[in-house]
Chain A
Amino acid sequence: MPQRRLIVEAEVGLHARPAATFVQTATRSPAEVTLAKGDGAPVNAKSILSVLALDVKKGDAITISTDGDGAEELLDELASIAGAP
């Protein structure tokens, strides 16, 4: 399954506005999209509560995974949101 691994750069981590934008973007895809922190278990990237509960902070490594048509484009977009400073 296509994946992206990256380090979160935003000062607030994947909380607040970055988390909301990330989840809204993931929600646009009909395919399953997951997010994992470090080596942890992946959670539904369309669930704001699950994403928040991961408590991803600045400097944490995350893995985004999805499948299906346009998976690479979606991953690029999600990675740029999560990786933006």
Chain B
Amino acid sequence: MATTLTGSGVSPGTGYAPAHLLTGSIPEPPKGAVHDGDAAAEKARVQAALEEVAADLEARGERAGGEAAEVLSAQAMMARDPGLADGVGELVDAGVSGDRAVYEAFGAYRDLLAAAGGYLGERVADLDDIRDRAVARLTGAPMPGVPVDAAEPYVLVARDLAPADTALLDRNLVAAFVTEDGGPTSHTAILARAMGVPAVVGCAGATALVQGTLLLVDGATGEVVIEPEPAAAQAAVAAARARAEALSGTTGPGATADGHPVPLLANVGGPKDLEAALANGAEGVGLYRTEFLFLDRADAPTEEEQQAAYRAVFDAFPGGRVVVRTLDAGADKPLAFLPPPGEEPNPALGERGLRMFRRYPDMMAAQLGALARAAEGTEAIPYVMAPMVATVAEAAWFADACHAAGLETAGIMIEVPSAALRAHDLAKVVDFFSVGTNDLTQYAMAADRQVAGVSDLQDPWHPAVLDLIALAAGAAGAAGKGCGVCGEAGADPVLACVLVGLGVTSLSMGSPALPWVRASLARHTLDQCRAAADAARSAPGASEAKEAARACLTGLGDLGL
């Protein structure tokens, strides 16, 4: 009987492949570490380690072929560098331990390359990789890093994944993600949905798995089966593929089984995400995260640059709506050119979102101006909304600025509980709402999205969160205005039905989730959705709410959900 680990399934699909454990970075060998006195033996040991690293890089290059072969063979040359060997030799002769000597000898070149910047600066990562591999060999630590050149697909297992870990991942090689930490709004979850890779997060015991163990990962149920019966595992993967085909059978605009329309929109971070949005049948954009255009830059983008980036997205959806969120800087997404006024003990509760615009009104004027010009002559229907609105005064200030700039449809995100509670007043001063369920959950449950220990509280299924969404959707409906959801909750095909039942009028999500949500809505009537919403809100907790809703949603089985 195979053992099973269980976590939260956050990105549906089934993956079956060997585990690749992503270890943390290799720790720096302690300063002042010395060897046992035999310098010649220590130098030979280092030389052998560097040669093994070089040979391994070359072998991987030969397997990969093409450009990768060239890059890896250049890396192998670095590992065999005679200047580096001299540097290590001098340090070891002076008594420094081999691993520390490698670290310091690389450091000298690292500084030179980093100072040069440009192409050479980019080689620093290559150098660090060689150094870490050599140090790992000398200390017996497991090899670091994501296997970018693996020959076979693997299940990536980690404590949690940082953006830097995942930049180089190849969708075709990643069968699934399993992380020990993280909740439904963790980076891993968002990335997995964006890539369309099955994922299980918050999976206790994951990091204790043995490298190479075969895993069957179910990204819907959250089950990770260790060394499953191969025939059963292959059958599960085949069934998942069949479900995927069932999914692609539901096409067209989003609607419930009885024809109640629910526009299905895509969350995008820039023009690069449009292809996936269109491929998955998005009817427009429900969340254009403009800050993603501007992360990692020292200076503010010009209005022309902004205008071009906005226009590209407008042009992709003639006749469709494109909801642009103004810069959401601060907290976990600091922008260098919009510095917070000082150290904030809790950035999530600090000057972020619209609050930043109150400090930098010129930045808001520039962004709204660029948006208004980008919108001129476009066939898309531009919507503009502000993040982190807490009061009616803030909402009115923003909506007035949008209207004055010539942007007709101005809305706000509902992500602060005060905004949901006073939605009936806010609905009088803005043109639409969009619920950001990630932050709304974080603030309603007082559970920081970046703290793994409270990940069970960061679940939008908590009835308190559903109540707040119901308040916002109800107030918008009473005022004849729309209330969308653009948080991760909208990407959950079960919760999507509940949201529609709560009165939400459109759903926006990472593009790969669109077919799932479309298929799920198409299998349920509006009445079923309302019954599921009532059942969920009557439950005492998140897991009971999910169970109660599922019981009302009889078409989920078709989709293997």
Interface residues of A (CB under 8 A from B): 12, 15-17, 20, 23-24, 43-44, 46-50, 52-53, 55
CB distance from A27 to the nearest CB of B (A): 8
Partner of A49, one of B73, B83, B119: B83
A48 and B116: CB pair below 8 A? no
B125 to chain A, nearest CB (A): 14
State in angstroms the CA–CA spacing of A55 and B77 once bound together: 17
- Whether A53 contacts B82 by the Cβ 8 Å rule is no
Task: Mark B116-130 against chain A: 1 for CB-CB distance below 8 A, else 0.
Answer: 100110010001000
Q: Hey, which chain A residues are within 8 Å of B74, CB to CB?
A: 16, 20, 48
Q: Is the CB of B78 within 8 A of A49?
A: yes
Q: Which chain B residue lies CB-closest to A48?
A: B77
Using Cβ atoms and an 8 Å threshold, which residues of chain B touch A23? 77
Q: Given the complex, which residues of A lie within 8 Å of B84, measured CB to CB? A: 47, 49
A47, B70: Cβ atoms closer than 8 Å: no
> Hey, which chain A residues are within 8 Å of B83, CB to CB?
43-44, 46-47, 49-50
A-B contacts, 11 of them at CB < 8 A, read: A15-B119, A46-B83, A47-B81, A47-B84, A49-B84, A49-B113, A49-B127, A50-B81, A52-B123, A53-B116, A55-B120
Contact in complex: A24, B109 (CB < 8 Å): no
Assess whether B451 is interfacial by the CB under 8 Å rule. no
Contact status B77-A53, CB under 8 Å? no
Which chain B residues (100-142) contact chain A, with CB distance < 8 Å?
A: 109, 112-113, 116, 119-120, 123, 127
By beta carbon, the residue of chain A nearest B70 is A17
Query: How many A-B pairs fall under 8 Å by CB?
Result: 45
- List, in ascending order, chain B residues with CB within 8 A of A15's CB: 119-120
A49, B126: Cα distance in complex, Å: 11
The 10 A-B pairs of least Cβ separation, nearest first, read: A47-B83, A53-B112, A49-B109, A55-B116, A48-B77, A50-B83, A49-B81, A47-B81, A20-B74, A44-B83
**In chain B, what residue has the closest Cβ to A53?**
B112
Cα-based distance from A44 to B82 in the complex (angstroms): 8
Residues of chain A with a CB closer than 8 A to B127's CB? 49
Chain B count of residues within 8 A CB distance of the other chain: 17
B residues in contact (CB < 8 Å) with A = 70, 73-74, 77-78, 81-84, 109, 112-113, 116, 119-120, 123, 127
Instruction: Return chain B residues, CB-CB under 8 Å to A43.
Output: 83
Would you call A24 and B77 a contact (CB within 8 A)? yes
Question: Which residues from chain A contact B82 at a C-beta distance below 8 Å?
Answer: 44, 46-47
In the docked arrangement, what's the CA distance between A52 and B126, Å?
13
| Chain B contacts for A47, CB-based, 8 A | 81-84
Could you say which residues of chain A place their CB within 8 Å of the CB of B113?
49, 52-53
Establish whether residues A53 and B70, one from each chain, have CB atoms under 8 Å apart when the complex forms. no
- Whether B120 contacts A52 by the Cβ 8 Å rule is yes
A53: chain B residues at CB < 8 Å are 109, 112-113, 116, 120
Chain B nearest CB from A47 CB (Å) reads 3
Shortest CB–CB separation between residue A10 and chain B, in angstroms?
12
Min C-beta distance of A12 to chain B, whole Å: 7
Q: Which of A16, A48, A55 contacts B78 (CB 8 A)?
A: A48
CA distance in complex: A16, B127 (Å): 14
How many Å from the CB of B107 to the closest CB on chain A?
12
B119 touches A20 (CB 8 A): no
Once the chains bind, are B73 and A48 in contact (CB under 8 Å)? no
Closest CB of chain A to B32's CB: distance in Å?
Answer: 25
Q: Other than the known A48-B74, A48-B77, A53-B109, what 18 A-B pairs have Cβ atoms closer than 8 Å?
A: A15-B120, A16-B74, A20-B70, A20-B74, A20-B77, A43-B83, A44-B82, A46-B82, A47-B83, A47-B84, A48-B81, A49-B78, A49-B127, A50-B81, A52-B113, A52-B123, A53-B116, A55-B120
- Asked if A16 contacts B119 (CB within 8 A), the reply is yes
How far is B76's CA from A20's CA once the two chains are assembled, in angstroms? 11
CA–CA, A82 to B83, complex, Å? 20
A75–B201 Cα distance when bound, in Å, is 59
**Measured CA separation A66–B82 after assembly (Å):** 17
Bound Cα distance from A24 to B70, whole angstroms = 13
Rounded to whole angstroms, the CA-CA distance of A44 and B84 in the bound complex is: 11
Distance between B253 CB and nearest chain A CB, rounded to angstroms = 50
Given A44-B82, A46-B82, A47-B82, A12:B73 Cβ within 8 A: no
Task: Kindly state the separation between the CA atoms of A24 and B78 in the bound complex, as whole angstroms.
Answer: 11
Task: Count chain A CB atoms within 10 A of each CB in B81, B109, B127 and give the residue with the most.
Answer: B81
State in angstroms the CA–CA spacing of A23 and B116 once bound together.
20
A20 surroundings in chain B (CB, below 8 A): 70, 73-74, 77
Q: A57 to nearest B CB, angstroms?
A: 10
Q: How far is the CA of A23 from the CA of B73 in the complex (A)?
A: 12
Complex alpha-carbon distance, A17 and B78, angstroms:
13
